[in-house]
Each structure stands twice: as structure tokens, then as C-alpha cells.
Structure 1
Amino acid sequence: MSEELFPRPPAQVAPGAVHLPGWLDAGAQEELLAACRRWALPPAGLRTVRMPGGGEMSVRQLSLGRHWYPYGYADTVVDGGGERVKTFPAWLGEWAQRAVDDAAAAAGDGPFGAGARAAAYDIALVNFYGADARMGMHRDSDERSDAPVVSFSLGDACVFRFGNAEGRGRPWRDVRLHSGDAFVFGGPARLAYHGVPRTEPGSAPPALGLRGRVNVTVRAY
């Protein structure tokens, strides 16, 4: 789906973790961003997440399909106003499955496991990063499914730190994600710790009309 003049090739960052640069072309980025702006509106729109210890995430967030809260899923915004979560769109799941197929082809198929081509994608988290926002090292372990996670990036570039499944420390690898990039991790990398130590404010494509970074992570519950 890339329209880059000099396309960056797919890269396997770790077994089961594949970076797909420029996977979303300009039209697809605009379509996804327009959808994110609709989803961000109330009810069950963009919110600040409060952690159990009382701290707040610097990244603002909304959920599709099921509401994520630290640390679980519900049908309603149980840690807010109780609104029913917005519907997960089938087309987003189709995009995610296509990205998994492309990542599997780039990695030689094996690292994602036999179920990767039939994952029932039904939930997503939409994260908005302002200029000072970051995401600490964490792993996506609240889902019952082991289907690969698919991440789409819009707007400002960021440093995406992809680590290991043993803990938050090294070894890790830093990958620069641009607007339009996809990142897929499953199989042995499904529970790897990962985070975003910084974004690059002002680096978004001007035509997109976005200040900040939007990240959409698609998952199977």
C-alpha cells in the first residue's frame, strides 16, 4: 500500500516482530485519521487513563469493541462514565489481517504460528501522543487470544522500543516509526515488552493535518 518514492523494505526486528514501513498510503492514512477523529468524540471518546496507583498516562486513549482499563476489558467505560464502548469496524480487522499476511510473508511465515491467518480481530486501542507524551515499557497481556498485535502509526514519527518477553530491561531494539508504518508482533514476540520513549513533534506529513501522533493497535480479544 506504500506510495513512498524510495520505499523502505520490511524488516524483522525480532522473531515474530516485523516492521512494515509505509504500509498505509496517503489515502489510507487520511481514512484512518478521519475515523479516529469520529471515534474520539463522546460518548466513550478520547480520555485520560488513570492507573491504579493514582498516576495518569500521558497518552490519551479510546477503545473499540471492548473497553480497556488497567488491567482488563469490559463492555462499558467502567473506570469512567459507564458508556458503552464504540463498535469495532470490520474493515479495520481486515486491514490488520492483511498486515499480518504481509508480515508473515516478509518473515517466512513461521514466527507467527498457524492461527495468524485466521485471527478474529475484534478490539482496538487508539492512543494519542501530544508533544510530551510517552509510553513506558509494557506488554499486551490482557487479551485471551494469542493472535498477533497489529499497530498502525499516523502523524509524528516516534522511537518505538521493542524489547523481550522476560522483563522491561535490555536487550531491546529501537525502531523509528513514521506515519503510515505498520508493526506486527506475534508468536514468540507476542508478549514482548515495548514502549515509546519519545516522539518527534512536528514531523507529521503536512498534508495529514495532524499535530501529534496517533497509534491504532488492533488485537483479538
Structure 2
Amino acid sequence: MMDLFEKLEPTEPVSEMLAEGAMLLRGEALAFDGELLAAVEDITGRSPFRHLVTPGGYPMSVAMTNCGAVGWVSDRTGYRYDPEDPLHGRAWPPMPDCFRALAAQAAARAGYPNFAPDACLVNRYVPGARLTLHQDRNERDFASPIVSVSLGLPATFQFGGLKRNDPVKRYALRHGDVAVWGGPSRLRFHGVSELKAGDHPLLGAVRINLTFRHAR
């Protein structure tokens, strides 16, 4: 298997168009990865990872936490953004500067200048965890894009259409890759296939995903 820290081959595109308004930026986060992982450790020290429960009462296989002005949460009452961490009733950790810088840089490269996220969902995957196809539609408006950063173990990103039963394309995500989708693709269904076992040099048997949104 290719070392996840090897440089992309010159023949491999730096970016891939997923659909109109959607782009995959290969290696975009590599220059930030040390800062990002240190920031994740700080965030989870204040608001630990937890397995949220869906409105139907099922625990999610992916562990989650948040940073920023609001955080995405789920429980038996539904999905929503909340300014307080329900674990302790205090504000979520502030969004680190390196998070904002990477999110803005990636969004601009994908054609969305001046992106200013106010929420970042931090997901932790271990082998066997997955995220079923869904739309990000709990935000107040859909004018801003979604910026999704992959760190750690490789994963398979599923990117579908505007209807749940539309055809789904699959893309390999490596450490440092960033996916951005907005505009006509903002409400496309997307997900992550079941994570396969592996050992990443920095994170071991873990994948971390940072999902930036403008929620309010």
C-alpha cells in the first residue's frame, strides 16, 4: 500500500471535479495537518467525542464533537445546531485559527471566496464505522458550501445526487484531502463507506473528519 505521506505523483490531478459546484482537492490540508491534529486534541479535551443518538433511537457508529459558535447535535428530539455542548452545558470550544484558514483557503480554491464557517463538526471513525447517505440541511440557508477535511486512515467517499436513489459515485480519500461542495451541489446526498482496518503513521487505526459549515 502507498505510504499515506508520499507526495502525489506528477500525473495525478491536484483537484478533481465531482460535479458542478463540487471539487476534491488532493493534499490541500497536508501543510496544516500538525496544527489540525493538535487543535483536535485540544477541542476533545474540552468537549469529548461521543456517539450521538438518532431521532429513531439508534446510536451512530461515528463518534462526534464540535467547535465554533454552534455545534451539530442529534438526539431523540431531532437534529439541530446548539450553542452549548449538551454534555456539560457550556459553549463549544472556539474554532481554531488553523481550522478557519484551511476552510477559507479550500473554499476559495473551489470557487467559493469569503467562506466564514461558524461551525465545525469533528468526526472520529474507527474500522467498521460508516456514515450513511444524507444531506446537510440543518443550516439556515444553503448559500455557503460544505468543506470536508480528511485526516488519518483512507476512506471511501460516496457522492450522490439530489435524490436519495440517484446514482452514487465513489472516491478514495487520503490523509490531507479536502472535499468542497456548494451551489447546485450543496444538497447532494453523500456519505462514507464502512472504514477498513489500517494503521496511519499519525493516528493509528483512526480517521478524523472535519466538516465546516456556515450554520446560522
Q: What residue is the counterpart of 2:22 in the other structure?
A: 17
Q: What residue is the counterpart of 1:110 in the other structure?
A: none
Give the TM-score normalised by the residue count of structure 1: 0.85
CA gap of 1:186–1:203, structure 2 versus 1, over 3 A, is farther
For 2:6 and 2:32, how far apart are their aligned partners in 1? 11
Q: What residue is the counterpart of 2:51 in the other structure?
A: 48
Alpha-carbon RMSD across the aligned residues, in angstroms, is: 1.8
Q: Does 1:36 align with 2:40?
A: yes
For 1:29 and 1:90, how far apart are their aligned partners in 2? 13
For 1:41 and 1:186, how far apart are their aligned partners in 2? 32
| AA of the residue aligned to 1:61 | M
Q: What residue is the counterpart of 2:192 in the other structure?
A: 196
Q: Is the 8 A contact 1:61 1:125 kept in 2?
A: yes
- Any stretches of 5+ residues in structure 2 without a counterpart? none
Deviation at 1:200, TM superposition (A): 2.9
Q: Is the 8 A contact 2:83 2:91 kept in 1?
A: yes
Q: What residue is the counterpart of 1:101 in the other structure?
A: 108
Q: Is the 8 A contact 1:20 1:182 kept in 2?
A: yes
- Aligned residue-pair number: 203
For 1:123 and 1:59, how far apart are their aligned partners in 2? 18
Q: What residue is the counterpart of 1:150 in the other structure?
A: 147
Decide which structure has greater helix share.
Answer: 1
Q: Secondary structure at the match of 1:96?
A: helix
Deviation at 1:98, TM superposition (A): 0.8
Partner deviation per Cα, 1:30-51 (whole Å, 9 max, x = no partner): 2211211221124x22111011
Q: Does 1:76 align with 2:84?
A: yes
For 2:199 and 2:145, how far apart are their aligned partners in 1? 28
For 1:101 and 1:177, how far apart are their aligned partners in 2? 20
Q: Is the 8 A contact 2:51 2:64 kept in 1?
A: yes
Partner deviation per Cα, 1:23-81 (whole Å, 9 max, x = no partner): 122x5212211211221124x22111011111100000001111211311111123x34
CA gap of 1:94–1:176, structure 2 versus 1, over 3 A, is same
- Any stretches of 5+ residues in structure 1 without a counterpart? 105-115
